[in-house]
Structure 1
Amino acid sequence: MYYPEELVEEVRERNDIVDVIGSYVKLQKRGANHMGLCPFHNEKSPSFSVSGSKQMYHCFGCGVGGNVFTFLMEYENYTFVEALKVLGDRAGVKLPELEYSEEAKKAADLKTRVLELYKEAGKYYYYQLRSKQGEEALAYLRNRGLSEEIITKFGLGYSTKYSDDLYQYMKKAGYEDSLLRQSGLFTMEESKGAYDKFWNRVMFPIMDGNNKVIAFGGRVMGDGVPKYLNSPETIVFDKSRNLFGLNFARTSRKDYFLICEGYMDVIALHQAGFQNAVASLGTAFTPQQARLLSRYTKEAYLTYDSDGAGVAAAIRAIPILKEAGLSAKVIDMKPYKDPDEFIKALGAEEYQNRIDQAMNSFFFEISVLERDYDLGDPEQKTKFFNEMAKKLLIFTEEIERNNYIEALSRKYNVSYDNLRKLVNRYGAQMTVVNVAKETRDREKEQNAKKGKPEEGMQKSQKILLTWLIDDSKAFDQIRGIITADDFTEELYREVANMVFEQYESEHKVTPAKIINRFESKELQTEVAGLFSTSIQLEMTEAERRKLFADTVVRVKRASLDIAYKKAIEDNDIMALQNVMKEQHGLEKLHSSLNHG
């Protein structure tokens, strides 16, 4: 950590987590907490809880959690220092400008240093495009119809024909091999030495939503293979969680996004004035990319290639978009292959017309399904109607499903009542199958739980930690009975130590402050989970006392069992006698806690 802990705490305390998260996620007050739909996974019922008293969040669906810093790091893909600066600015806390020695720079956060290296690589490629070596690459881009303005906007560049050009440049700039190896921009072999991943390629910087270069795509000059090459995944780049062009599209102020297949399509659309175009990164469209889009829009227009592969990709993307809560439409590119070709041939105005005429995604799916059947053949036509009926079951709302049945019955000249009966028949069959599957899954889950008693102990320890931060009177009740050493899991024990220390010094526990002492987002999420165990609120006082007594005794018994085994292994008679004495007193302890 590069800033004093007191300053970090001041920034955290002056940024109420409910206000900060509320600016990203719609929250509603539910009891002591605020609830909303989790921004990190798709859900229809709110399971994302934000606690003002604990100054932390936790999703009971996917398990993410942390404090206000964790949220910004996860949502905006910030480093800790970036999140600190953003929240500092928000709260009016001026952070000192820190100067780093060369040694301190080398010890700095790996992610920050990789981002710095990528920024430097982007500058290098940009310069090479405008050098004598880049003349052919620059001519290629101009021949593709790109203006100087759009080339500059997207920071396009060129990797030279020399296979270690960037490596030599980075070495002269002072970057060490260990960092260069982790950047994904170089291959290092004992026999061949170090060489660049990209050479003799037009370079497309891939930026995150905050305009930081996190990877590159390269289009080979000439007939080399592969034609397009992307950076491998690194600490700063996960291709399934990023979109090319998002940094521009997110500020376009359009109420829908255009989803393309390639870099050139995105760039061509931006040049034509469609600033809301993005593309997936050398992979099929993913649920993570859909959830990323859902932060900025509720509607997506698929503008994929018009060939068979493009149609298949659109069919795969539609349910993914719907699952993320996005409505989808499909743009017809025919007779041209892609948006780049289309705009060159017919212009931006005609492309806008195609947007206006875009097909409802479900009707598109039906039109693709229709291609597999000869509707002039009664048998084929019947099969088609049966498959269409099955697809209509995707609509769980009866009124919406009936509207689609009505529209399709008109289009295909079939009786509304007959089509509706067919849909209902398949629906009834599906219900029977689903009930049987749910029963089997529930039995499997129950059997799995029976086979894992240690998970029950972990839950008891989580309940106790949650109880301690929710009710400070609990510290007095367990004084002399439970210590941090009674928590059997290493992380639980470490967190318990912090909880007890903070209570002793401050007479209160602030979970967000403890979360802050863990550097990785993964650990912060796990720690937040320790403070977020659900304790049923609708309990009588007697039921609460019994649950508390049961939990304390269960945690203590597990700790004593471990101590008992250790005493036997060490042949420590005195320790064994002490443990047995405490074990015999557990029933009395339970009674005293239960009767308060």
Structure 2
Amino acid sequence: MPYYSDDIIEEVRSKNDIVDVIGSYVKLEKKGSNYFGCCPFHAEKTPSFSVTPSKQMFYCFGCHKGGNVFTFLQEYENYSFGEALEALADRAGVNLPKQELTPEKKREADKRELLLAINKEAAKYFYTLLRSERGKRAYDYFKGRELSDETMQRFGLGYSDQYSDDLYKYLRKRGYDDMLLKESGLVVIDEVRGGHDKFWNRAMFPIMDVRGRVIAFGGRVMGDGNPKYLNSPETKIFNKRRNLFALYFAKNTKKNYMLLCEGYMDVISLHQAGFDNAVASLGTALTEEQVQLLSRYTKEVCLTYDSDGAGVDAAIRAIPMLNKVGIKTKIVNMQPMKDPDEFIKAYGAEEYEKRIRDAENSFLFLIRILSRQYDMSDPTDKSSFFHETAKRLAVSFEDTLERRIYARELAKNYDVSEDELMQMVNRLGESAGLMRENDRAKDGRSRPKKEDGMKKSQMLLLSWLAERHELYLSIKGKIGADDFTDPMCHRAAQMLFEQFESGNDIVPARIIDAFTDTEEQSQIAGIFNAAIHKVESKEDMEKAIKETIIRIKQNSIEQTSKNLSPSDIEGLMKMIEDKKALEHLEKMKIEI
């Protein structure tokens, strides 16, 4: 990313009012001093997505995403920070300073732009051919697959001509040289045949990145040629491990889950039927990079792989990869049909929606597939099955209650005593060291952390300071950033107090720019959007603020005291000063 100064970043941020920017994506309604709408990052019926003009921040109290105007574009459009900055600079008419590139970097950047231009030109050409007499065979093929003209247009479907040098000649006329065309992956150059097309006599599927740029193609042969399906090779702009088919469309779905398919036609059929959250890997098994990409957009995936053996094997490989990054996974049963495309044609969208609602939990699916390896009528085999099942229960769930819930379901499904299964789980877990001591608590409930309440108090005070700037004058000299013991609150307090001391405008949104990780940005936004239940009166609010301030100072003194050495004279002097400050705070009157 090009380097831009903090002043440039702040100029772009300040000239893009967050309400205006987010309002172009989300319908917002003003309530009091804030704006609310349904969160664009998860499905909800009751609006919990808040935009605060005074702080220039957004925060969702449902999914806890938050940040400033840059964060929003990064999350919504999947932009890098640099791309978000450039988009907002263009929106506000801010001229970003030209960045000097090394000759080598400039050549690389220019080449990428040219390769993107070639792919775009090829997509337009294939699209036009499909709608001409030469493309009738492919057009009839798509129609035979029951795709509408609107769907074909939406996905940019096309046709590569039966003559194997057709695209090559077209692109040469457009001024592109052989070396560049070879690097695009669309043309093969050899000494015997010269230039000829990678794709010919095929129905064409453009592959787009998350920004909607054509980066590659998939093609299905018309007739009996081989291979039946062909994808672009990897190039400087296309890495099949890091992209997903139709993610450009699916990323904007309002559904809170994604449908993961195996084939392009499955995805397109699902989109046409109203399932705009369907994506597919690109002619290969699901990769870790694709899983990471999915995790940016969803926390739940329904696998809609083929119902044959290969599809089951693909699901077994995919489930642990998805679970590893925190994606909840379910399996859609499409029997008696083979794949989503066939199922939609045979039974329709409403029945497919039912199958999604009834999708099988991934752990129960894995156990069901595991059971096929055992003869459940044989006592030895059945015992081995339960032994393996108990081992998987022990290693798969940290929480005792969750483990017991699954054990109860398995006991019901496989005719075994829940208590006996749990006893086996506990024996295996303890002997192999697979379970934590606190997971073996009888009630299975996790103990709340003592510091959680203090963190909440620190978040509240920072949020109140951001809203009521005069409050800083009351606590100045009595509470400092070091009194905030939670690490994230401490960092936020340092930067907020610096703004107060500088005498400039207090802009919490500027603090978010100091964090590059979007998860940390959401945490900072959460800090500055902390709130307590609505209080009945001004006096109650003043009392709540004072009690929170005193609680934070008391906690700070306690933490310092724990770590203080008797020989630390300087530390002892500070302790005395802190206790005097606490006395002042206890006598202080808060007015808002």
Give the TM-score normalised by structure 2. Answer: 0.59
Match of 2:134 in 1: 133
Query: How many Å apart are 1:255 and its aligned residue?
Result: 0.8
Q: Render the CA deviation track for 1:396-432: whole Å, top value 9, x for unaligned.
A: 2222112211221222221222211222233234338
Supply the distance in 2 between the matched residues of 1:381 and 1:214 (Cα, whole angstroms). Answer: 51
Q: Are residue 196 (structure 1) and residue 194 (structure 2) matched?
A: no
Q: Contact 1:287 / 1:324 at 8 angstroms: preserved in 2? A: no
Q: CA deviation at 1:14?
A: 3.5
Partner of 2:263: 262
Q: Aligned residue for 1:217?
A: 218
1:395 maps to what in 2? 397
Code of the aligned partner of 2:243: N
Question: Which residue of the partner structure matches residue 12 of structure 2?
Answer: 14
1:150-192 per-position Cα deviation (integer Å, ceiling 9, x unaligned): 1111000011111111111111111122321221111122232
Change in Cα spacing, 1:162 to 1:374, as seen in structure 2 (3 Å) is: same
Mean alpha-carbon deviation: is it higher for 305-314 or for 400-409?
Answer: 400-409
Matches of residues 97-112 of structure 1 in structure 2 within 5 Å? 109-112=110-113
Do the aligned partners of residues 189 and 95 (structure 1) sit closer, same or farther apart at CA in structure 2, a change above 3 Å counting? same
Contact 2:12 2:85 in 1 (8 A): no
- In 1, distance between residues paired with 2:419 and 2:205? 54
Q: Identity rate of aligned residues, in percent?
A: 55
CA contact (8 A) 2:429 2:435 kept: no
Pairing of 1:58-97 with structure 2 (within 5 A): 76=78, 85-89=86-90, 92-94=93-95
AA aligned opposite 2:8 = E
1:233 corresponding residue in structure 2: 234
Mapping for residues 531-550 of structure 1, pairs under 5 Å: none
Q: Structure 1 residues 116 and 9 mapped into 2: Cα distance closer, same or farther (>3 Å)?
A: farther
Change (3 A) 1:90 1:324: farther
- CA RMSD across the alignment: 4.1
Shift of 1:96: 10
Q: Which amino acid aligns with 2:224?
A: D
Question: Is the 8 Å Cα contact of residues 250 and 296 (structure 1) preserved in structure 2?
Answer: yes
Question: How many angstroms apart in 2 are the aligned matches of 1:303 and 1:254?
Answer: 16
* TM-superposition CA deviations, 1:189-220 (whole Å, max 9, x none): 22322211111110000111111111110011
Shift of 1:259: 0.7
Residue among 418, 421, 426 paired with 2:420: 418
Is the counterpart of residue 119 in structure 1 residue 120 in structure 2?
yes
Aligned ranges 1:371-390 → 2 under 5 Å: 371-390=372-391
8 Å Cα contact 1:79/1:112 also seen in 2 = no
Letter of the 1:329 counterpart: K
Q: Which 5+ residue runs of structure 1 have no aligned equivalent? A: 24-67, 98-104, 435-537, 541-596
What residue is the counterpart of 2:499 in the other structure?
none
How many Å apart are 1:353 and its aligned residue?
0.9
Within 2, Cα distance between the matches of 1:425 and 1:261?
40
1:446-504 C-alpha deviation (Å, 9 max, x unpaired): xxxxxxxxxxxxxxxxxxxxxxxxxxxxxxxxxxxxxxxxxxxxxxxxxxxxxxxxxxx
Letter in 2 for 1:182: E
Aligned residue for 1:109, secondary structure, equals: helix
Give the whole-Å Cα distance in 2 for the aligned partners of 1:215 and 1:9.
39
Separation of aligned partners in 1, 2:431 and 2:239: 41
1:335-484 matched pairs, under 5 angstroms: 335-392=336-393, 393-431=395-433
Q: Counterpart amino acid of 1:10?
A: I
Shift of residue 258, structure 1, vs aligned partner:
0.7
Asked if the contact 2:305–2:311 (Cα under 8 Å) also holds between the matched residues in 1, the reply is: yes
Measure how far apart 1:106 and its partner are: 8.3
Alpha-carbon spacing, 1:285–1:6, altered in 2? closer, same or farther (3 Å):
closer
Counterpart-to-counterpart distance in 2, 1:298 and 1:433: 25
Would the aligned equivalents of 1:11 and 1:91 in 2 still touch at CA under 8 Å?
A: no
Partner secondary structure for residue 167 of structure 2: helix
Shift of 1:115: 1.3
d(CA) in 2 for partners of 1:212, 1:348: 29
Residues 433/363 of structure 1: CA separation in 2 closer, same or farther (3 Å cut): closer
Deviates more, 1:353-362 or 1:185-194: 185-194
Does the residue aligned with 1:182 lie in a helix, a strand or coil? helix
Deviation at 1:95, TM superposition (A): 6.4
Relative to structure 1, is the Cα distance of residues 390 and 137 closer, same or farther in structure 2, using a 3 angstrom cutoff?
same
1:11 CA drift (Å)? 4.9
CA distance in 1 between partners of 2:5 and 2:416 (Å): 70
**CA–CA distance in structure 2, aligned partners of residues 355 and 268 of structure 1:** 16
Aligned ranges 1:279-290 → 2 under 5 Å: 279-290=280-291
Q: Distance in 2 between matches of 1:184 and 1:291?
A: 26
